[in-house]
A = this chain, B = another copy of it.
Amino acid sequence: MHVDPHLLRTFVTVAECGSFSAAASRLGYTQSAVSQHIATLESDLGTPLLRRRPVVPTPAGERLLEHAGPILLRLDAARADVRRTVADPPSTLTLAASPLAARSLATALAEVRRTYPGTETSLTVCGRDQVVAGIAAGTFTLGLVDGIATPSDPLNLTNAVQLRTTSVAHDSLVVALPTTHPLARPGRGLSLSDLADARWIDAPDLAAPLATLRAAAGSDALRPAFTYNGTDLHTLLTLIDSGHGLAVLPRSALTPNVAAVPLTTPRLVHRTELLHGHLSDPAAEAVATALSDHE
């Protein structure tokens, strides 16, 4: 017997809420039902998944959580994908992009609007995960996501959903620092290990998330001195220029008012990828081909 997605859903909700009763009201169940859900899930898997009071996932629960999100996403994606084949293609082109990826759109989009003048277009800028989820759920027809990766690998998207991805652009990474910074000498590259103890700005929605950099550098340092939860590039650059800290950004994102030193080790690149489900709309297809990386 398979793991029941309903139980999975209440499980992730409980884990998010940290409370059975809160999850119950969020899901429109009674606390009793939630308790039973977790109980059957635990007896089904033969191991406790949550420690109660306070409610925290056990190691086994952590493992299950890693799977649960993608599975639920994928189930929704399947439904959306099926509905897409039966419904006729929408007249509006709905696009989604993560903040730094959006810039790749303008030119390609202009070209397409010339050949398909009738299509209404909408663009939503949101977080990477939301782009993926939106594409999976069919809310968006085309998505652009940017991120950092090792040169030979693609972005490691929530690899749950069978989405077609194509590389749209790649760019080198630089360490952005104030022009007055001692390391702001052009010509030389920097290694992350040299900067382990620097003041870092973590701007996970915009720049390379520090957690990703830590993983790539295999370092436990690189702790944020400042966290910027926002998507406005100008604000981040101003923060950097004012000396609040450094950030790793794609070279093309920089303006002259901050200094940029190439990041040499670990070898990472900035990459933006196009993702979509099955395309039935010719206009969407045109955008997709217009965007494809002409390396």
A residues adjacent to B (C-beta < 8 A) = 2-6, 9, 45-47, 49, 59-60, 63-64, 66-68, 70-72, 74-79, 81-86, 151-154, 159-160, 162, 167, 278
Chain B neighbourhood of A160, CB < 8 A: 74, 160, 162
The answer to whether residues A82 and B64 also contact, given A6-B2, A162-B159 and a CB cut-off of 8 A, is: yes
Other A-B pairs beyond A63-B82, A63-B85, A64-B81, 12, CB < 8 Å: A45-B82, A47-B86, A60-B86, A63-B278, A66-B162, A68-B78, A71-B75, A152-B152, A152-B153, A152-B167, A153-B154, A159-B162
The answer to whether residues A64 and B46 also contact, given A160-B160, A167-B152 and a CB cut-off of 8 A, is: no
Most chain B CB within 10 A, of A49, A60, A68, is at: A60
A6 to B75, CA, bound (A): 13
A and B contact pairs by CB, cutoff 8 A, 19 listed: A2-B9, A3-B75, A5-B5, A45-B82, A46-B86, A47-B82, A47-B83, A47-B85, A47-B86, A60-B85, A63-B84, A64-B81, A68-B78, A70-B74, A71-B78, A74-B160, A159-B159, A159-B162, A160-B160
CB distance from A206 to the nearest CB of B (A): 25
A82 to B8, CA, bound (A): 13
The answer to whether residues A81 and B67 also contact, given A3-B75, A46-B86 and a CB cut-off of 8 A, is: yes
Report yes or no: B71 in contact with A67, Cβ–Cβ below 8 A: no
CB distance from A229 to the nearest CB of B (A): 26
A14 to B59, CA, bound (A): 38
Chain B neighbourhood of A167, CB < 8 A: 152
A98 to B75, CA, bound (A): 29
